[in-house]
Amino acid sequence: MPGNLTLAGLKDKAERGEIDTVIVAMVDMQGRLIGKRFHVQNFLDTAHAETHCCNYLLTVDIDMEPVPGYKAASWSKGYGDFTIVPDMETLRVIPWLPATALVLCDVTDHHHHPQPHSPRQILKRQVDRLAEKGMKPFMASELEFYLFDETYESAAEMGFVNLKTTNGYIEDYGILATTKVEDTMRAMRNGLHGAGIIVENSKGEWGAGQEEMNVRYAEAVAMADDHSVMKNGMKEIAFLQGKAITFMAKYALDRAGNSCHVHQSLWSMDGKPLFLDESAPSGMSALMRSYMAGLLTHAREITLFLAPYINSYKRFQQTGTFAPTKAVWSHDNRTAGFRLVGDGSKAIRVECRIGGADLNPYLAFAAMLAAGQSGIEQKLELEEAFSGDAYGSSGVREVPKTLREAIEAARNSDMLKSAFGEEVLEHYIHAAEWEQYEYDRRITDWELKRGFERS
């Protein structure tokens, strides 16, 4: 891809004056890019090997509040540094910023031992477990978002209500409606392509002002890297055009939520699609059936990593909105949490539709791969496919409807304890409990409107 760089390529571009800045970033617990901007000369001289950041970065909430109670870092341990080590495979040009390149990092201690609670490390661990079995996971995450004719500042001044979306009507697959946002969407597609991400397409979605960006599936860590660069990049491109964009799972009661559907398949190390068995019904191999059975069996336990915030669960509250409320599987049926796609072909895969666009891709992919692998290890039998409208069905596995319910399911998961390690799981349970605590003590506009006069 045009945007991918090697260190030698970066050196050439620096000498020609084409790059003067390198963003050196890690991904935090929320999936955001966090790091420093280096002068390219300093990056070439030293920072390509490592740099340092305060270790509180993997113990803060979305507000950068140093959350008490973590074992990994705390006031009593003095909040020291950890090391972040650039992964040169991720070095790329960022075409929408002047003369800028970007590299993603692994988070380690000072001796370059990985920090187990770093999201990238958590995903790598699941990929390594699969590699031991001779398998390689491929994923694709589709990101939905709303685009506003507002800046982030004007949106904040308006208290985030009555915001003007770029379209006033539902624009699902609409060409005319998306022509109206093409300045921004074209800049995004071409910008991401220039940053080494294989863009497939963008399209209008099932909300007024809602868009989707689709990119080519890739090996799991590379896809999570692309996802993080995309999300940050699309916000930057919108900002540069005086627009705001949100990936919140549900920003308004009367608008469809923002999903992040994740397509997944396993391949042999030499590139054979292990989910395909042409002689089996629907072309699903026995391996695929037990992987999917694992996803279903553990769906409630992993929802915390598909829906990490209080707001994430607002997306599941309404039926008939394309956000699934049931963890069942189906043939090409968008009311179910899991959908079989590409039956009988090399592209056979399972799509998980439960996650919101607010998920951290490393954690979500890791949780799904852990669940699927558990299905493979136990040779679980796949239940019958669901057919009909899953929203109205009773007696089938429900997706947790609140963060509190999801925390309980994750906390009691022996599968997650053994796949992630108990300390790592505890770290993320603690983050979720803090999110719940922060919410529980707030007084919302809804309560004031209902109760101020009448209670």
**Contact footprint for ligand ADP (CB under 6 A):** 138-140, 200, 214-217, 263-265, 341, 347, 349
Q: Which is nearer to ligand ADP, 265 or 325 (CB)?
A: 265
**CA angle, corner 198, sides to 193 and 200, nearest 5?**
105
Picking from 104, 75, 73, 111, the residue whose alpha carbon sits closest to that of residue 90 is 104
Question: In this structure, what DSSP letter does residue 97 have?
Answer: S
Residue type present at position 17? G
Residue type present at position 161? V
The minimum distance between CB 20 and ligand ADP, in angstroms, equals 34
Q: Which is nearer to ligand ADP, 60 or 143 (CB)?
A: 143
Asked whether 13 and 205 are in contact (CB, 8 A), the reply is no
Q: Which is nearer to ligand ADP, 101 or 230 (CB)?
A: 230
Q: Which is nearer to ligand ADP, 145 or 313 (CB)?
A: 145
Q: Which is nearer to ligand ADP, 30 or 214 (CB)?
A: 214
- Judged by DSSP in three states, 148 sits in strand
Q: Residue 358 contacts by C-beta under 8 Å, 6 or more apart in sequence?
A: 247, 248, 249, 258, 260, 307, 308, 309, 311, 312
Q: Which is nearer to ligand ADP, 57 or 220 (CB)?
A: 220
Question: In this structure, what DSSP letter does residue 390 have?
Answer: G
The minimum distance between CB 341 and ligand ADP, in angstroms, equals 6
The minimum distance between CB 347 and ligand ADP, in angstroms, equals 4
Asked whether 305 and 400 are in contact (CB, 8 A), the reply is no
The minimum distance between CB 315 and ligand ADP, in angstroms, equals 18
Q: How far apart are CA 144 and CA 288, in angstroms?
A: 27
Residue 201 CB: number of other CB atoms within 10 A?
10
Token pair, residue 251, equals 């920003």
Q: Which is nearer to ligand ADP, 200 or 447 (CB)?
A: 200
Picking from 128, 210, 120, the residue whose alpha carbon sits closest to that of residue 165 is 210
The minimum distance between CB 138 and ligand ADP, in angstroms, equals 5
Picking from 195, 215, 240, the residue whose alpha carbon sits closest to that of residue 93 is 195
The minimum distance between CB 274 and ligand ADP, in angstroms, equals 10
Q: Residue 445 contacts by C-beta under 8 Å, 6 or more apart in sequence?
A: none
Q: Which is nearer to ligand ADP, 345 or 412 (CB)?
A: 345
Q: Residue 166 contacts by C-beta under 8 Å, 6 or more apart in sequence?
A: 147, 148, 149, 180, 181, 184, 209, 243
Residue type present at position 315? R
Relative orientation angle of helices 403-411 and 299-306, to the nearest 10 degrees: 120
The minimum distance between CB 142 and ligand ADP, in angstroms, equals 6
Calculate the CA 422 to chain-centre distance.
Answer: 22
Q: Which residues pair with 52 in a beta bridge?
A: 83
Residue type present at position 131? A
Q: Which is nearer to ligand ADP, 140 or 424 (CB)?
A: 140
Asked whether 396 and 386 are in contact (CB, 8 A), the reply is yes
Q: How far apart are CA 283 and CA 266, in angstroms?
A: 14
The minimum distance between CB 144 and ligand ADP, in angstroms, equals 11
The minimum distance between CB 219 and ligand ADP, in angstroms, equals 10
Q: Which is nearer to ligand ADP, 212 or 301 (CB)?
A: 212
Q: How far apart are CA 91 and CA 97, in angstroms?
A: 15
The minimum distance between CB 340 and ligand ADP, in angstroms, equals 11
The minimum distance between CB 422 and ligand ADP, in angstroms, equals 31
Q: How far apart are CA 261 and CA 203, in angstroms?
A: 14
The minimum distance between CB 236 and ligand ADP, in angstroms, equals 22
Q: Which is nearer to ligand ADP, 29 or 266 (CB)?
A: 266
Tokens 């940050």 belong to: 232
Q: Which is nearer to ligand ADP, 71 or 216 (CB)?
A: 216
